[in-house]
């Protein structure tokens, strides 16, 4: 038995720099170098784009909880909290720390 891809995720115009998988919800969230972050099912269906404000353009890290929250870290200490089930932006914050 040779490993083979189960799905091909499409939709980004630039290289993917971060990915998070939530098996409990059956979701894959990926962020491209020039944004946005895309939400796919684990079978490859594109559901929606999670777009931050004008200051949140370059995603670097993604974390998804089994409750459906998606925290995205953008460059320069900017964070966004999205509800993955409907794509709603719940909160944003900026920290003045050297988080990398």
Residue with the larger pLDDT of the pair 38 and 75: 38
Its pTM stands at: 0.84
Residue 28 tokens read as: 């894959």
Do residues 37 and 59 touch, judged by C-beta distance below 8 A?
yes
The pLDDT value recorded for residue 100 is 56
Q: Please state, in angstroms and as integers, the Cα–Cα distance from residue 17 to each residue in 3, 67, 96, following that order.
A: 23, 24, 23
The SS3 of residue 35 is coil
Residue numbers of the domain that contains 40: 16-94
Residue 9 falls inside a structural domain: no
Residue 83 falls inside a structural domain: yes
Residue 28 falls inside a structural domain: yes
DSSP 56: -
For 11-42, the pLDDT digits (tens) are: 999 999 999 999 999 999 999 998 789 999 99
Do residues 83 and 68 touch, judged by C-beta distance below 8 A?
yes
Residue 68 falls inside a structural domain: yes
Q: How many structural domains are present in the chain? A: 1
Residue 7 falls inside a structural domain: no
């Amino acid at each position: 038995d040779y490993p083979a891809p189960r799905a091909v995720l499409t939709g980004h115009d630039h290289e993917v720099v971060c990915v998070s998988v939530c098996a409990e919800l059956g979701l894959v969230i990926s962020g491209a170098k020039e944004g946005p972050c895309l939400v796919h099912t684990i079978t490859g269906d594109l559901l929606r784009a999670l777009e931050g404000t004008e200051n949140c353009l370059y995603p670097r890290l993604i974390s998804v909880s089994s409750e459906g929250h998606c925290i995205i870290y953008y460059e320069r200490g900017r964070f966004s909290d999205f509800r993955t089930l409907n794509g709603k932006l719940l909160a944003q914050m900026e920290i003045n720390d050297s988080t990398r």
